[in-house]
Amino acid sequence: MSGFGGWLVILGEAEGLRWVLDERRMVFTETQYQRVRRAKQDDEVLLYVTRGAFHNPTRDQSQLLALGRINTEVRRLRTPVRVAGRELAFGCAITIDARLPLREGAPVRPLVPRLGFISNKESWGHSLRAGPIMLTPSDFGVMKAALLNAVDRRAAS
């Protein structure tokens, strides 16, 4: 990886996604914190929703749902938060700059051939199982542009 473009935060459960959007905060497990501990205030984040998040993976698809920015450093919370049956002890505040309605995000599958961090283009979902993922400027730019284009198309219709 050359350089830093932004973070891709993977959300595999609709309840967790709704919590992040409502609370304007992201929370992480200890393992996730080890990946995101280098996040800084003003780093950009893309919220990626797995196709299984809404419990209907044959109907839903993996998608980018929101673009935001980290407002505070990621730190241990005084009181852990319980979301979607998981206890999460680390977190930060975020701002949501652009978003699409639930289940109407920008599809990720068409972007896969252009994403350098995905080495196996045939089995690309495996690259998006563990997050947060620190993306290069190129990969972040491809994903951010797809989300913002979808937001613009929706606004124009």
Residue range 41-62, pLDDT digits in tens = 999 999 999 998 888 877 889 9
Residue 17 predicted with pLDDT over 60? yes
pLDDT confidence bin for 10, thresholds 50/70/90: very high
* CA 92/CA 76 separation, integer angstroms: 9
Q: Are strands 6-11 and 44-49 parallel, antiparallel or unpaired?
A: parallel
Contacts of 79 (CB under 8 A, 6+ apart): none
Q: What is the pTM of this model?
A: 0.93
Pick the CATH number of 6-156 from 2.60.40.10, 3.10.590.10, 3.40.50.10490, 2.40.128.720: 3.10.590.10
